[in-house]
Chain A
């Protein structure tokens, strides 16, 4: 085993919850200690690092950035961490695509902020919630709400441990072959990589697919077969067809339709367009009246098809991604 230089590590969350950071912390304690390979130097949630501490850090090997960009301060932190980091990773759906906070983009823009406040000024609110990639170049993405243990570990293994951490979770069968091979060889995967599969969730979903046809559209509060049969075939809107695999069908396995937290599958241009096409080709009727009746049952298409991905992957509304460069070895 060749010696591994300890990597400096930063973890930061902008707007969102703490599930992604917790997922990372759990890896340290439950899978394999980080500190053989990485030295956390900036981690406000766990170490109590202050934002101003970042000014005293010259260089960070790997930064895991979670949360969406909602305020001026989030934007500033994204820029600072980008400037100091060799590798910047969008961790979780909020950083990768905007996540649930991104649904706010369907509502009117928020108020300007604290005018004439008696206290210290608050960070300004942006007009729209943005993914990290709209603010700055990102080398890698680990999607999910939160990311699964296996894929989060794959990212740590690849980027900090150079493939040498002894713990082996079953992630390689969910990753594209070039990425899995890179991790196992101890080289960096190609920049722009997503730590998830390339196919759609359907490929890994445990439900039985018989004939991709349905005759009635139902909503999740209505009665359906909780185990066994494909949810789309039962008439539920399930985004598995348009969503990148890697989670192993966690939600569909629990009897709930997929809502797309891993982002669009590799071959999909726009998840909403893909779903419209999927439903149109799956609905088993050529009768105009029946088709109209079915269409009337659709509700909140934007909020459903882009539940986690509106700021990044709705083709009509998405912010432009900043391009990434190959990380400097």
Chain B
């Protein structure tokens, strides 16, 4: 078996490659992120109120968690309408983020540019019909419109700030948001039914979804209790970490062969072998949230979750198929929540959308369940409000270990089956997509 390099990996936000070294018959895989995010370099010395606009570079949800951290630092409670606008924006981001991954799943065997008889290099046209992809993209466009209305911009929102939001909604926005929310809910239910009938049990598709690695513990944010909870695959709570202790109790370990560090819970230590022992390693994301075993707060999403549990082979475990099904469950949940939030009375409750701070402390922190998983920000500022220290936990570094393990497992499985490098690459890309 020759050495292989897949660079870059499709649909990954960070520049990354996978190298497989033959290693005398015992292949070694390296999932390497090849560039730094440079969060510290971008943020140190900047005015703390600019963090929401700078850190949206990581993902749009970081804009929202940054605003929450500013609320904490400036000791201000946003008015009800502002909280609802922020929540509505978060649901639009959930919808958009998850649907984009499902679009990638639906299109991976199809040509992404199917018009005018364009043939793929692989010479086959399997997979989903263009009108399904078209409907998916239309729903994506609607969610983007909704995110733009609520956040000012969709990809790098600007509206959330300390004490609330700055986006004044006009009359025409309320009706349109309600329309978008209902349309998104309708589409998510139709998509769930389509996936049930045509994808989850289609051998041509599921052939490409490899078995996943051994389970890792998961981390989730429980805002009602104010704690981050580390749980295991048996839905048991292993450790809970108060928000104020997160910086101290969650560490980052750097390996020389990748530019993304590995987040881990310090009390469990960092394992000697990354892909065998768990130590304090954990993962975040939709499957982590569903792995808590908690019933969902919206009825249609809860029904979908039960369907997922009832289907053999897709119960929450770290297999790619379960990862994709979790996206569908949360897609429905996000759209149900959007319908509830995108109503005029919720977005104008009390009429005030911002409470300007009058005081500030020396540090602020917040956590949020973002589409990609639990995210956390902590800022320490000087007496001029400039950032002097910060900690940002984003999904890429919390799922780094899972991605390494997933890539290794997928490669070894593919080689065991005698699959071609092309097919191996496709399987790796699909396996990494939910994380």
Contact = CB atoms under 8 A, between A and B. Distances in A.
Contact of A122 (B100, B134, B257): B257
B112 A47 contact: yes
Nearest to A12: B8
A71 B155 contact: no
A17 B396 CA distance: 13
Contacts of B163: 221
B152 A250 contact: yes
Given A221-B74, A254-B167, A122 B45 contact: no
B341 interface: no
A67 B158 CA distance: 21
B261 to A, nearest CB: 13
A253 interface: yes
A100 interface: yes
Given A46-B10, A119-B257, A256 B41 contact: no
Given A146-B156, A220-B161, A221-B49, A122 B32 contact: yes
Given A46-B10, A119-B256, A35 B152 contact: no
B10 A48 contact: yes
Given A120-B19, A250-B152, A299-B386, A125 B36 contact: yes
Nearest to A146: B155
Contacts of A115: 256
Interface of B: 5-8, 10-11, 13, 15, 19, 21, 30, 32, 34-36, 38, 40-42, 44-50, 53-54, 57-59, 70, 74, 100, 112-116, 118, 133-134, 137-138, 140-141, 144, 151-153, 155-156, 158-159, 161-163, 165-168, 255-259, 353-354, 356-357, 360, 384-386, 425-426, 429
A221 B162 contact: yes
A200 B243 CA distance: 44
Given A15-B35, A119-B256, A299-B386, A254 B40 contact: no
A36 B114 CA distance: 11
Contacts of A48: 10, 425-426, 429
* Interface class of chain B by DSSP: loop
B70 A221 contact: yes
Contacts of B141: 26, 29-30
Given A119-B30, A122-B32, A50 B7 contact: yes
B257 A114 contact: yes
Nearest to A220: B49
Contacts of A46: 10-11, 112
Nearest to B116: A35
A221 B161 contact: yes
Interface of A: 13-19, 22-23, 25-26, 28-30, 33-36, 39-40, 44-48, 50-52, 70-71, 73-74, 100-101, 103-104, 106-107, 110, 114-120, 122-123, 125, 145-146, 219-224, 226-227, 250-251, 253-256, 259, 299-300, 303-304, 307
B409 to A, nearest CB: 18
Contacts of B11: 45-46
A273 to B, nearest CB: 21
Nearest to B44: A107
Given A45-B10, A254-B152, A34 B113 contact: yes
A104 B6 CA distance: 29
A103 B42 contact: yes
A120 B167 contact: no
B70 to A, nearest CB: 7
A204 to B, nearest CB: 15
A256 B10 contact: no
A226 B137 contact: no
B36 A22 contact: no
Please name the 9 residue pairs, one residue from A and one from B, whose CB atoms are nearest each other, closest first.
A119-B257, A254-B152, A255-B166, A223-B356, A107-B41, A48-B10, A104-B41, A29-B137, A19-B155
B42 A100 contact: yes
Contact of A256 (B53, B258, B384, B386): B53
Given A115-B256, A146-B155, A220-B50, 5 more contacts: A34-B113, A50-B7, A52-B7, A222-B356, A255-B165
Contacts of A106: 41, 45
Contacts of A145: 156
Nearest to A38: B113
A119 B19 contact: yes
Nearest to A116: B256
Contacts of B57: 16-17, 100-101
Nearest to A44: B8
Given A44-B8, A254-B166, A303 B118 contact: no
Contacts of A224: 356
Given A26-B144, A107-B41, A119-B257, A255 B13 contact: no
Contacts of B429: 48
B324 to A, nearest CB: 18
A101 B42 contact: yes
Given A219-B385, A299-B385, A254 B161 contact: no
A106 B49 CA distance: 19
A215 B426 CA distance: 61
Contacts of A39: 118
